[in-house]
Amino acid sequence: MSKNRFDLHEERLATTDEKGHRIFLFPEDVKGIWRKRRTYFYWFLIILYLVLPWIYHQGEQVLLFDLPARKFHFFGSTFYGHDAPILSLLLFGFIFLMGFITSLYGRAWCGWACPQTVFIDAIYRQIEKFVEGKARARQKLENEPWTLKKFGKKALKWGLYLLVSLHISHSFLGYFVGTRNLVGISLSPPTEHMDLFITMIVITAIFLIDFGWFREQFCIIACPYGRFQSVMMDEDSTVVAYDINRGEPRRGLETGNEGDCINCYHCVKVCPTGIDIRRGTQLECIACTNCIDACDEIMEKVGKPKGLISYTSENKLKNIASKRFRIRPMIYLTAIIAAVIVFTISLLNSFNLKATFVRASKTPFQQVILKSGEEGVTNFYKLRMDFKGESDSKVLLAFENPKDNELIEIKTPRNPLPLKETQKKINIFFRFPQSILNKGNKKSVVTFTDEKSGKILLKKEINFVGPIK
């Protein structure tokens, strides 16, 4: 039988009873330097998240996943469906970055930047505290029978949760629909945008249930990253850890030879996932640092040095010197650098313009007499250009080889062509002296140059044909 409710069997989760039913946690408040740092950082992230979709540059939302138009605006660059391979590099880069951070600093993402932790800790728990009081008062209220007072408090808490969830879900949708669009949509009747309205209700419900009720259960049983973290870390990774050499034997286990841990369970009472960090690094630990502050407070009270629980590594606790270059972070860092290099190169070389020359099937060429009196050939093509983007610029067709520009005449209704009109098929003739053909063929490269920027957007090889002489 356990000595107290925090002293659980090591194979028991703190959030489930012997029958597997959920035990709701009431983590106590904590004060300390890490709590302060996290609060500042959480609010920086929340403001960033809420403000970012409102930032526009040259009339364009800087971060917008425009799903219906299959466009992704990313800080001045626009990606389209055909850019999926380039975008996947961004995704891989992010995954490797997570691996790199985890291999160095453990589950820092979970405790410091995951929206789940940030919103619950900075907003939902604060609302809970404001309405229902501190941990003990909340627990007492939970165990009380339903009275008008209890109903009123619960209704107020969930009402405030709902308001916040609605706000978060609207900001979230702003990244997909566009914030300016969303304002108009929000002010019109729901029946005019039923699909979006239903999406908003579903997302709000997910935030409300997850942040208000499901909470640590998501981190413990649903988050895939939590499962992967152990393969990304090693003995030199910095994690939240208890100094077993200093703390043990804890008070009450042995007399006369006690370590610094006074077995007060303060570190367990403040833990949002209910674990006892003194049992070593566990999958449920989200590295929130609450237990560091809690234990430091106790150490101060009992006149012992702080840091019985601290950010450290398993090797440091065993007095083993950390390796300067570790294979795991190096692999992740190399992968990040490779992804960034390939992404940058792909971005610089990616064109939003596609073009196809289709040769006339019946009369691939026609023999003519040129103005100079020379024998000449005309090749007839249909040019299909496809430009995805917004530009009022024009595209100039020419040849890459300056000599070809002197010899081959390009005849189109318009050259340069407005980029906006490029979705049409354009009739195009090429006229050149027969003498430039070699066994009836001549390869040339046509360039498509943006008239405004002077940048070559695309190059296309073309094979001119004529009589074999």
Work out the burial of residue 25: count CB atoms within 10 Å of its CB; fewer than 13 is exposed, 13-18 middle, 19 or more buried. Answer: middle
In angstroms, the CA 147 to CA 305 distance is 47
Residue from 120, 36, 214 nearest 128 by CA: 120
Kindly tell me which residue out of 118, 123, 309, 408 binds ligand SF4, with binding defined by CB under 6 A.
309
Site map (CB under 6 A) of ligand SF4, residues 157-196, x = contact: ----------------------------------------
With CB under 6 A as the contact rule, which of the stretches 16-24, 61-69, 199-207, 291-299 interacts with ligand SF4?
Answer: 291-299
With CB under 6 A as the contact rule, which of the stretches 15-23, 71-79, 191-199, 255-263 interacts with ligand SF4?
Answer: 255-263
Please, which residues have CB within 8 angstroms of residue 279's CB and are 6 or more apart in sequence?
10
**Token match 């090591």: residue?**
10
Nearer to ligand SF4, 73 or 107 (CB): 107
Kindly tell me which residue out of 89, 220, 233, 308 binds ligand SF4, with binding defined by CB under 6 A.
308
Q: Rounded to the nearest whole angstrom, what is the least distance from the CB of residue 203 to ligand SF4 in the complex? A: 27
Work out the burial of residue 271: count CB atoms within 10 Å of its CB; fewer than 13 is exposed, 13-18 middle, 19 or more buried. Answer: buried
In angstroms, the CA 104 to CA 238 distance is 6
Kindly tell me which residue out of 120, 286, 395, 397 binds ligand SF4, with binding defined by CB under 6 A.
286
Is 238 a binding residue for ligand SF4 by CB under 6 A? The answer is no
Q: Rounded to the nearest whole angstrom, what is the least distance from the CB of residue 116 to ligand SF4 in the complex? A: 13
Is 14 a binding residue for ligand SF4 by CB under 6 A? The answer is no
Query: How large is the angle between the packed helices 148-177 and 194-209, nearest 10 degrees?
Result: 130
Is 288 a binding residue for ligand SF4 by CB under 6 A? The answer is yes
Nearer to ligand SF4, 233 or 309 (CB): 309
Nearer to ligand SF4, 267 or 339 (CB): 267
Residue from 423, 224, 395, 234 nearest 329 by CA: 234
- Contact criterion met (CB below 8 Å) for 386 and 353: yes
Is 220 a binding residue for ligand SF4 by CB under 6 A? The answer is no
Is 289 a binding residue for ligand SF4 by CB under 6 A? The answer is yes
- The site that binds ligand SF4 (CB under 6 A) totals a number of residues, namely 29
Nearer to ligand SF4, 300 or 374 (CB): 300
Q: Rounded to the nearest whole angstrom, what is the least distance from the CB of residue 208 to ligand SF4 in the complex? A: 23
Q: Which run of H or E residues covers position 34?
A: helix 33-51
Q: Rounded to the nearest whole angstrom, what is the least distance from the CB of residue 46 to ligand SF4 in the complex? A: 20
Other C-beta atoms within 10 Å of 365: how many? 19
**Token match 């425009």: residue?**
66
Q: Rounded to the nearest whole angstrom, what is the least distance from the CB of residue 276 to ligand SF4 in the complex? A: 8
Strand partners, 399: 446
* DSSP letter (8 states) at residue 76: T
Nearer to ligand SF4, 189 or 303 (CB): 303
In angstroms, the CA 248 to CA 280 distance is 13
In angstroms, the CA 159 to CA 151 distance is 12
Q: Rounded to the nearest whole angstrom, what is the least distance from the CB of residue 132 to ligand SF4 in the complex? A: 21
In angstroms, the CA 372 to CA 353 distance is 36
For residue 55 the two structure tokens come to 């930032």
Q: Rounded to the nearest whole angstrom, what is the least distance from the CB of residue 105 to ligand SF4 in the complex? A: 12
Chain centroid to Cα 183, Å, comes to: 24
Ranges within 258-277 binding ligand SF4 (CB under 6 A): 261-267, 270-273, 275, 277
Site map (CB under 6 A) of ligand SF4, residues 393-432, x = contact: ----------------------------------------
Ranges within 312-371 binding ligand SF4 (CB under 6 A): none
Residue from 418, 434, 419, 443 nearest 466 by CA: 434
Q: Rounded to the nearest whole angstrom, what is the least distance from the CB of residue 272 to ligand SF4 in the complex? A: 6
In angstroms, the CA 112 to CA 430 distance is 63
With CB under 6 A as the contact rule, which of the stretches 93-101, 129-137, 280-288, 409-417 interacts with ligand SF4?
Answer: 280-288
Chain centroid to Cα 88, Å, comes to: 12
What are the DSSP E strand ranges found in 244-324? 309-312
User: What residue type is 276 in one-letter code?
Assistant: D
Distances 341 to 42, 73, 79, 83, 338 between C-alpha atoms, Å? 31, 20, 18, 16, 5
Q: Rounded to the nearest whole angstrom, what is the least distance from the CB of residue 1 to ligand SF4 in the complex? A: 20
- Contact criterion met (CB below 8 Å) for 52 and 129: no
With CB under 6 A as the contact rule, which of the stretches 156-164, 189-197, 278-286, 368-376 interacts with ligand SF4?
Answer: 278-286
Nearer to ligand SF4, 120 or 428 (CB): 120
Q: Rounded to the nearest whole angstrom, what is the least distance from the CB of residue 304 to ligand SF4 in the complex? A: 9
Q: Rounded to the nearest whole angstrom, what is the least distance from the CB of residue 136 to ligand SF4 in the complex? A: 17
With CB under 6 A as the contact rule, which of the stretches 94-102, 132-140, 294-302, 382-390 interacts with ligand SF4?
Answer: 294-302
- Interface residue list for ligand SF4 (CB under 6 A): 240, 242, 247, 261-267, 270-273, 275, 277-278, 285-291, 294-295, 298, 308-309
